[in-house]
Amino acid sequence: MIGLWDTTGNEVVKALAAERRSAGGVASGLALTLVAVVEEKKVREAEAAATIAAAAHPCRLLIVVRSDLEGRSRLDAEIVVGGRLGPAEAVVMRMYGRLALHAESVVMPLLAPDVPVVTWWHEEPPDVIANDFLGVVADRRITDSAQAPDPVAALRQRAQDYASGDTDLTWTRITLWRTLVAGAFDTTEERVVGATIVAPEKDPTAALMKGWLQSRLGIVPTWEFTDRAPRMHSVELQCANGDCVRVTREENTALFSRTGQEDRYMPLPKRPVGDELAEELRRLDADQIYAEALGALAGVSDLDKRPPMRVHVWKDPALAARANDAGAMAGPGGSAA
């Protein structure tokens, strides 16, 4: 590992090139550049997840930590090639002051040439991705609405702000659920006339499951709120002939029940974030099924027809904070003197 304190972007580029030369073949064959936007307290979590993902998708990992926007501009960096993060080339950059608002000035020269760029927010997702140049420059953008104060509201915001190439780890977390539900209809063509989801009120996985069932089956599922389970507990489908298909979570397994058949237990583990991230990195094209499910959830149509490219919209959070403070001082109907 190389540590550079109070450094510059040029010095980071030179140090990475030198470390790659000394590492030799360890750093060859990169599949993509993964830009991770992370809070300071979640850096180790992001590194652990990226290590798992890099085992399947060798990448250059650029971790961006923004701190203290009002302080002096400074850049601290750690460079790791073929070390604790496995096959990834990693640069952990802690940016302070106004530099944190222009992270792209350091990140852009570090992007691996001729490979896709994926930006992953391991923190509360931005309301508008176009406000962050690190999202605008990416071919694919991965958010995690579960990290927002109101995850379901954050998913609806993702629909309003959607562009082709966006995805959310909440969608990845219901992959096994969707597989179990869809597998029930491999041997029947019975029409589904109703569905019931039992889950906590602010469970984003239940919200996306509801949107997915609505978009695929043309029904409006019922969401029964419960406080007895920390996350989605069960999904039940009612068929036109009276049959019922039900998937119920029990710890790391799912009880699969169907009218006229014996109950079966199927694996339904809670996967680490690294496995979820690796799954999303398998495809870098637009996910049309996710777009349809997200649109059904938020009541927005034709998300998959939106263009993949965004235009950067500059927003200075420091100026916005000052404007809010001035408005609060003025009070309703007044002006700040």
Q: Note the pLDDT tens digit of each residue in 289-320.
A: 999 999 999 999 999 889 888 899 988 766 65
Range name among 4-18, 84-98, 217-231, 266-280 with the lowest pLDDT average: 84-98
Tokens of 203: 């469970």
pLDDT reported for residue 24? 62
Say which residues have a Cβ less than 8 Å from residue 288's Cβ, sequence separation at least 6. Answer: 304
The full 3-state SS of 148-198, as one line of letters, equals: CCCHHHHHHHHHHCCCCCEEEHHHHCCHHHHHHHHHCCCCCCCCEEEEEEE
- pLDDT beyond 50 at 335: no
pLDDT reported for residue 1? 79
Overall average pLDDT of the 148-165 stretch? 96
Question: At 161, is the pLDDT very low, low, confident or very high (cuts 50, 70, 90)?
Answer: very high
pLDDT reported for residue 251? 86
pLDDT reported for residue 334? 47
Confirm or reject CATH 3.30.9 for domain 2-169, answering yes or no.
no
What is the distance between the alpha carbons of residues 222 and 209, in angstroms, rounded to a whole number? Answer: 11
- Mapped onto helix, strand or coil, the DSSP state of residue 95 is strand
Per the listing, tokens 């790791």 go with 80
Range name among 2-16, 47-61, 80-94, 253-267 with the lowest pLDDT average: 80-94
Question: At 19, is the pLDDT very low, low, confident or very high (cuts 50, 70, 90)?
Answer: confident
**From the CB of residue 89, how many other CB atoms can be counted at a distance below 10 Å?**
26
Tokens of 13: 């580029």
- pLDDT beyond 90 at 325: no
In the chain, the amino acid numbered 146 is: A
Phi/psi of residue 208, each to 5°? -70, -35
Overall average pLDDT of the 249-265 stretch? 91
| Residue % of the chain over a pLDDT of 70 | 92
pLDDT reported for residue 321? 52
Overall average pLDDT of the 121-129 stretch? 94
- Radius of gyration, CA atoms only, the chain: 23
Question: At 195, is the pLDDT very low, low, confident or very high (cuts 50, 70, 90)?
Answer: very high
CB 304 within 8 Å of CB 164: yes
**From the CB of residue 171, how many other CB atoms can be counted at a distance below 10 Å?**
28
What is the distance between the alpha carbons of residues 93 and 103, in angstroms, rounded to a whole number? Answer: 9
Name the H helices within 24-112. 43-56, 104-107
Name the H helices within 124-174. 133-136, 151-160, 169-172
